[in-house]
Structure 1
Amino acid sequence: MKSIVCEEPHRLRMKEIPFPTKKVGEALIRIKRIGVCGTDLHAYKGNQPYFTYPRILGHELSGLIIEIDQNDAGLEVGDSVSVIPYLHCGSCIACRNGKTNCCTSLSVIGVHQDGGMCEVLSVPVQNLVKADGITLDQAAIMEPLAIGAHAVRRSAVRGGETVLVIGAGPIGLGVMAFAKQQGARVIAIDVNEERLQFCKAWAQVDATIRAGEQSVSILEEQTSGDLPTVVFDATGNVHSMEAAFQYVAHGGKLIYVGLVENKIRFFDPDFHKKELTLLGSRNATSEDFAYVLKNLQTGVIKSRDYITHHCSFNEVLNQFSHWLLPESKVIKAMIEL
């Protein structure tokens, strides 16, 4: 069967691979949609943490079950499903505490092991979500949206709080939308004015700020000098992540949603005088996927504008590098099989 392999940075190749063998407790999924994520783009550029080459990319996945044994989840052949790509052990301290998203031996499909840029994939049944009442496109974007939902849940943001989200990519947009769901006043910061306009239209943010030297003073004006009590950085950029400390109110929280392969430095006296809480947010859990599914089913989260580009599986090699260019104006690209 066909697959797309990232053999080394800046090199994708269409390759024939063996049809997968279904193991006990797994199901064979005919892949129908593959969302292209920042992780895929970083891997292509050669700067993705926890990544080795060669690797079949693809972890934002939906498809149809073509083979499955009897199971407690009630899933059957023909069901449309979304894939939770985080494979966990179930027995480590994180898993025992319900934090399967940061399992000590976590293996992410498309990152630590070969992913879904192929025709058929074998996936543990426990990592499948029945996509009732939503489209295959929507099922494929459950994963990036779940990351945003998890970050908001981890922050314990309350209604009426002022929230700042730095970075208006797909993950940041999800954070904005779910923070709004919690009744927060949401401000978005990004370097791209068109992305900021998209934040207003899609995520219904309350205000936007173009990133620059005056960002802090503008933010102070918009918060009557208080600054936001919750700040999310979804950039994966070391300079942005270090600068994010200055945006947080005294007694506030800073949540890193984006990941960077670098050291993060901050000035400890400023950190201590504000008594800041610094949190990492990694991946998502099945609870987050269920929450996203509900929001997609009810139409609270609008998927149509979120997915800006489509292409067929056979067009990926020609399109992939184009999606890296700012002029492509990609929010979310979707591959169709």
Structure 2
Amino acid sequence: MKSKAMVLKEFMKPLEMVEIEIPTLKEGEVLIKIEAAGVCGSDVHMWKGEDPRTPLPIILGHEGVGRVQEIKGEKQTIYGEELKAGDLIIWNRGVTCDKCFACKILKDPSLCKNRKVYGINQSSAVFPYLNGCYSEYVILNGNTDIFKVEESIDPALLVSASCSGATVAHAFDMVSGILGDTVVIQGPGPLGVYAVAFAKNIGASEIVVIGGSKERLDLCKHLGATLILDRHETSITERNEIVMEKTRGMGADLVIEAVGTRGVAEEGLKLLRTGGTYLSTGYAQPAGKESIDFYRDIVSKNITIKGVWVSDTKHTKMAMDIVMKNKKDFAKLISHRFSLEEANKAIEAMNSKEALKAVLMPDEALESKK
């Protein structure tokens, strides 16, 4: 039995369709037929060769929802449910070692130096070869944390919960209990959309989103943003004045960077109140240095800066829950659907920002959506 897969063999070159022999599973491994694979902004950076973690050749795709085809031995979900063929599932995209300093001492698996991630740092040249979601099938490691998914859900809705959703969930998990009356979100992409949903969920009275795409900003407003600042229509100085006016000259309690581009932090830090918190979620790859006045913008304001690196299984669960509570809203996040063979079109749509969120789906699933 073989699986079709779109493989990245050279950076900045089109992905190539190949057929890969599905190997005999090892104990604990699970063969999954992909129902939906998210095309993430990180995939675009990997395609360009900007992510130092990317080995070649590779099957991209770290966001997936799929159906169990075969299990070697026994496998349970995170809730202890026996997994069986036919189950619709989603999984934590990272598999950690449970042996290193981060896993055992820090108790923070997201920082595991041995963390393996489907579609990011596992080559298709390495067993079991089907290591990414731009494929008909993916093989999950026996240590992968798995959740069953409701049969009634559109699989495309949930794919981003395992990446941008889980990352933002990690950010909010870091600051649970911190006052968040006024939250400013820099960037209206998938990370920003989730940030709006989580900010609303914690009861923020003011949710301000800064961005440059009208369609994306409109979605954020629909999800609960109370103020939209179009960066094409406002200057950095004007945005600062507006936020200060909104907060009686104090500044925001919480600012979330959800862009990952140079210069964003310089603006965001200035929007914080004294004692505020800055969460950086968008830097999935190197993007250059920031010019920060530590005395004025950090030390004298006694602010907290937290880098948010990936996520853990808890955060995947938190993101799934926020999607399930807002299914109609998150359906609007999916702007484009493509077949597996159209993966290069999907990459281009994300690269050009034509797509807010693109998803690869089997042909029969696409037909059902027409």
- Do Structure 1 and Structure 2 share a fold, with TM-score over 0.5? yes
- TM-score interval, normalised by the smaller of the two chains: over 0.9
- Give matches, 1:95-134, under 5 Å: 95-96=103-104, 97-114=106-123, 115-125=132-142, 126-132=144-150, 134=153
Q: Which stretch shows the higher mean deviation, 72-81 or 60-69?
A: 72-81
Matches of 1:301 and 1:84, distance apart in 2: 23
| Structure 1 residue 89 displacement after superposition | 0.5
| Structure 1 residue 320 displacement after superposition | 2.7
- Give matches, 1:237-316, under 5 Å: 237-259=261-283, 260-261=285-286, 262-270=288-296, 271-299=298-326, 302-316=329-343
Contact 1:159 1:182 in 2 (8 A): no
| Structure 1 residue 16 displacement after superposition | 2.1
Could you tell me which amino acid in structure 2 is paired with residue 84 of structure 1?
A: N
User: Of 163, 172, 179, which aligns to 2:192?
Assistant: 172
* Distance change (3 Å), C-alpha of 1:169 and 1:296: closer
Could you tell me which amino acid in structure 1 is paired with residue 176 of structure 2?
A: A
1:332 corresponds in structure 2 to 357
Give a deviation string over 1:82-114, Cα, whole Å, max 9, x none: 121111101222222431122121122111114
Could you tell me which amino acid in structure 1 is paired with residue 57 of structure 2?
A: P
1:251 partner SS: strand
| Structure 1 residue 295 displacement after superposition | 3.2
1:15 corresponds in structure 2 to 18
Give a deviation string over 1:154-213, Cα, whole Å, max 9, x none: 122546521111011101111111111000131111122332222101x21111112233
- Give matches, 1:1-337, under 5 Å: 1-11=3-13, 12-68=15-71, 69-73=73-77, 74-96=82-104, 97-114=106-123, 115-125=132-142, 126-132=144-150, 134-143=153-162, 144-156=164-176, 158=178, 161-184=181-204, 185-201=206-222, 203-211=223-231, 212-213=235-236, 214-259=238-283, 260-261=285-286, 262-270=288-296, 271-299=298-326, 302-326=329-353, 328=354, 330-337=355-362
Matches of 1:223 and 1:190, distance apart in 2: 20
Q: Which stretch shows the higher mean deviation, 179-188 or 116-125?
A: 116-125
Q: Which residues of structure 1 form unaligned runs of 5+?
A: none
TM-score (norm 1): 0.92
Matches of 1:305 and 1:293, distance apart in 2: 16
Matches of 1:128 and 1:313, distance apart in 2: 23
Q: Which stretch shows the higher mean deviation, 124-133 or 276-285?
A: 124-133
1:303 partner SS: helix
How large is the RMSD of aligned CA atoms in angstroms?
A: 2.0
| Structure 1 residue 265 displacement after superposition | 3.9
Contact 2:180 2:254 in 1 (8 A): no
Matched residue pairs, number? 334
Could you tell me which amino acid in structure 2 is paired with residue 285 of structure 1?
A: D
Matches of 2:58 and 2:332, distance apart in 1: 30
Contact 1:177 1:301 in 2 (8 A): no
